[in-house]
Amino acid sequence: MKRAFVTGGTGFVGANLVHLLLQEGYQVRALVRPSSRLDNLQGLDVEIVEGDLNAPNLWQQMQGCQFLFHVAAHYSLWQAEKEVLYQNNVLGTRHVLAAANQAGIERTVYTSSVAAIGVGAAGKPVDETHQSPVEKLVGHYKQSKYWAEQEALKAAQAGQDVVIVNPSSPIGPWDIKPTPTGDIILRFLRRQMPAYVETGLNFIHVRDVAWGHVLALEKGKSGDRYILGHQNLTLKQLLDQLAEITGLPAPQRAIPAWIPLSVAWVDEYLLAPLGKTPSVPLDGVRMAQQPMYYDATKAVRQLNLPQTSIATALHDAVEWFVKYSYIPVKQ
């Protein structure tokens, strides 16, 4: 019996991965924080263990498993969360990999992000060979993912079997929080998007991301990274596809970049220190000024990464959000 230990199994990518692992005949042990919502794991035949990425007994919780999928990460674009990002993403990854080594885990798949790779000049798609200087990565989240990936590379160079996957922007079911991409879809469905920002992203169906993890476990080379992505689209193109799927009108006006930048600056530097929860993260606005386009050819060729259409991904996301009452059924 194949036994996998999964961190981050309650989240978007992690939950889709857990569903797939069970479907493929794995026994799954999932690490969850005591405060985690377990909605995404309800009704699944999963062994739940409560704990923390930096807990001293983590290696003992992993014992008996052959494989580790380290999916968990702290995601935040707020500049005030710099230390939390470092503690969870960098030190947490270092500790998880050390625990896996101590527990005798045979192979680890570490979930990095295209955020760690950076972006190409003038919107040019980049592959796994590209690396923006860490000081050029916008925001503490991206930089924390870069340094966390360095921990995975160091472990691989020391002889530990660690494969790195770099998902782009997933779309699909079980987006419980939701993620920034899911939030775009929700705001569109709720008709809360009168205009759009001129930017672009690489999108992929979240189930293809889950498959990418399993295929990386089976076929990936230790110390290598694999971009799990599919199609590069402008935000306007994505919204137009949503309009076709839902019958709702897509926004036709682009917002000048200075407007969200001004709002974000006021939020983070003037209102947040006074105790107001910021509404627009400055780092998020700065990121949107650069199209984030990627080339997933390596994963498609070497891992046989599936490439489900983005229209299907959007349809599945909309269907899931409606089913779980994130939006009114009638618009």
| Domain with 226 in it | 3-172+202-232+292-308
Q: Give the total number of structural domains in the chain.
A: 1
More confident residue, 275 or 206: 206
The pTM of this model reads 0.90
User: Which tokens belong to 331?
Assistant: 């618009």
pLDDT computed for residue 270 by the predictor? 52
279 found inside a domain: no
**Residues facing residue 67 across a β-bridge:** 4, 107
pLDDT computed for residue 256 by the predictor? 53
* Domain containing residue 114: CATH number: 3.40.50.720
227 found inside a domain: yes
Rounded to whole angstroms, what are the CA distances from 187 to 181, 191, 206, 252? 10, 6, 19, 15
Is 130 in a helix, a strand, or coil? Answer: coil
220 found inside a domain: yes
Average pLDDT over residues 281-293: 62
Query: Does residue 57 contact residue 51 with C-beta atoms inside 8 Å?
Result: yes
107 found inside a domain: yes
Residue 320 has pLDDT above 90, yes or no: yes
Residue 66 has pLDDT above 70, yes or no: yes
Residue-wise DSSP of 188-236:
HHTT--SEE-S-EEEEEEHHHHHHHHHHHHHHPPTT-EEEE--EEEEHH
266 found inside a domain: no
253 found inside a domain: no
User: Which tokens belong to 104?
Assistant: 């005798």
Say which range, 71-75, 202-206, 312-316, has the weakest mean pLDDT.
71-75
263 found inside a domain: no
% of the chain at pLDDT higher than 70? 87
pLDDT computed for residue 123 by the predictor? 83
User: d(Cα 8, Cα 59) in Å, to the nearest integer?
Assistant: 16
Query: Does residue 95 contact residue 151 with C-beta atoms inside 8 Å?
Result: no
Predicted confidence (pLDDT) per residue in 165-222, tens digit: 999 999 999 999 998 889 889 889 998 888 777 888 899 999 999 999 999 999 999 9
Tell me: cis bond preceding 34? Omega within 30 of 0 counts.
no
pLDDT computed for residue 289 by the predictor? 58
Average pLDDT over residues 72-77: 78
Average pLDDT over residues 17-23: 98
Strand order in the sheet with 200-205: 169-171, 200-205, 231-234
% of the chain at pLDDT higher than 90? 67
User: Which tokens belong to 147?
Assistant: 């340094």
Say which range, 182-186, 229-233, 279-283, 294-298, has the weakest mean pLDDT.
279-283
More confident residue, 280 or 2: 2
pLDDT computed for residue 281 by the predictor? 53
Average pLDDT, the chain: 88
User: d(Cα 88, Cα 144) in Å, to the nearest integer?
Assistant: 9
275 found inside a domain: no
